[in-house]
Amino acid sequence: MSKSIQIKKGLNIPLSGAASARVSVDDKTTLFAISPADFPGYTWKTAVKAGDPVEIGSPLLFAKEDEFICLTAPVSGSVKEIRRGERRRIEFISVESDSKMTRNAALSEITDHWELLKRSGLFAMIRQRPFDIIPGDVMPRDIFVTAFDTAPLAPDILSKLDKRKMEDGLRFLRKFTKGTIYLSVPDDVRITSGAAQIVEFNTLHPAGNTGVQIANIKPVNKGEVVWTLDVVTAERIGRLVTDKKLSFATRVAITGPDAEDPHIVETFDGAALCTLLQGEIKPTEGKVRVISGNVLTGIKENVQTGFLRFPYRQVTLIDEGDNADEFMGWASINPKKYSVKRSFPAFLGGLSRPFNFDARIKGGHRAMILSGEYDKVFPFDIYPEYLLKAIYAKDIEKMEKLGIYEVAPEDFALPEFVDTSKNELQKAVREGLDYLRKETL
């Protein structure tokens, strides 16, 4: 029997450029890359060098702390480049595809379920709470699987999946916990599962965030560990354990006001943006910001040198706003301008219609204002302003009392959007979690 939960605090940002139902196949991209920065919690070391041949599932990097945990090649071919940045930090490893899609046969010979998940690269796509990192070897209290995304212009991640393989993946995950597997779905979808407990949510953002789902189903307390993942990863696990086939094929939504024809593209994890977005960007007078992900939590990428970043589901294209020239600036009464505080007359025509946002923050940085504006879009039983102040002060005792074990940076994306002070709240939470982990473990 399913359980239904209604999220009352949140905000659906009406960004224009939603993807249509049209699906195209990316047959131009031959370069794919994995960035270790997308997989926090471990120190990564290279397992290959430039020119090495690889197959789907071949290790590209492995964790220094646990050599079984790998980041693996999404396609077969040869290693093109190992790009390093400051202090020789690995920025990405790219693979030139040979289009053969040969799979690493060694994975089919692994019988230990922990080793199989780690060596395949799928373990790295799971996160644990607290700390929002790749899990360790601690058996989780429960596992939370999300089947929907409520971020701006996020694609549907459930309807096109193989439900049988997803169920096989959920059943396999039961080997890793003595607790319950919770599958969160939108309340307009009917689905059954023998391996997981179904929990229905409304689609007010951030209901799709696993942190919100955990907080409303069974919160994380100090000393407890839970795992989180999406149904795409669950389906990949199911395909691996039942068919012995590891696949990193993905469906990417090309979205945003500057997308020429917003739609879905079938490609592989880590696709090079220069070919993935060829012909997909509208010609504009100003610069276009390319975001791998959604506008709230995505990563700004250079279209010529960037790659699709984890979780590999969406690209958003918006104006930089560098050529904006508005009469009266912020004081303008332009009916096309959006504000959550109803500062412009646009709300008279309804704030649910699509708006063409750009990348400007439209304000300057200042001290945090305890105005309660975060609370209106933050559906946790937590005082966000006080938690942030504890993080800034590096007060571990207060951070723990104020609920830092329940949150991840993405949970502060909406408060950051509505923040009058224009503070980088997600960055602060990430630094706070890393500091807490370093000092307490």
Question: DSSP string spanning 281-324?
Answer: BPP-SS-EEEEES-TTT-EEE-TTT-B--TT--EEEEEE--TT-
pLDDT of 82: 98
The β-bridge relationship of strands 249-255 and 314-319 is parallel
- Give 87: exposed, middle or buried? Use CB within 10 Å, 0-12, 13-18, 19+: exposed
pLDDT of 327: 67
CA 104/CA 122 separation, integer angstroms: 14
On whether the CB atoms of residues 59 and 71 are closer than 8 A, the answer is yes
441: helix, coil or strand?
coil
Q: What rounded mean pLDDT belongs to the chain?
A: 94
The pTM (predicted TM-score) of the whole model is: 0.95
CA 206/CA 185 separation, integer angstroms: 13
The β-bridge relationship of strands 143-146 and 299-301 is unpaired
Per-residue pLDDT band for 195 (boundaries 50, 70, 90) equals very high
The β-bridge relationship of strands 90-97 and 77-84 is antiparallel
Mind listing the pLDDT tens digit for each residue in 117-170?
999 999 999 999 999 999 999 999 999 999 999 999 999 999 889 999 999 999
pLDDT of 331: 63
H runs (alpha helix) in 174-288: 210-217, 231-243, 273-276
pLDDT of 346: 61
pLDDT of 344: 67
Tokens of residue 79, six digits: 């290693």
CA distances from 422 to 102, 342, 413, 419 (A): 48, 18, 12, 5
pLDDT of 345: 65
pLDDT of 418: 92
Mind listing the pLDDT tens digit for each residue in 171-190?
999 999 999 999 999 999 98
Rounded mean pLDDT, 2-27:
95
Per-residue pLDDT band for 371 (boundaries 50, 70, 90) equals confident
Phi, psi (5° rounding) for residue 292?
A: -85, 105
- Give 328: exposed, middle or buried? Use CB within 10 Å, 0-12, 13-18, 19+: exposed
Q: Where are the domains of the chain?
A: 3-243, 375-440
pLDDT score of 328 more than 80: no
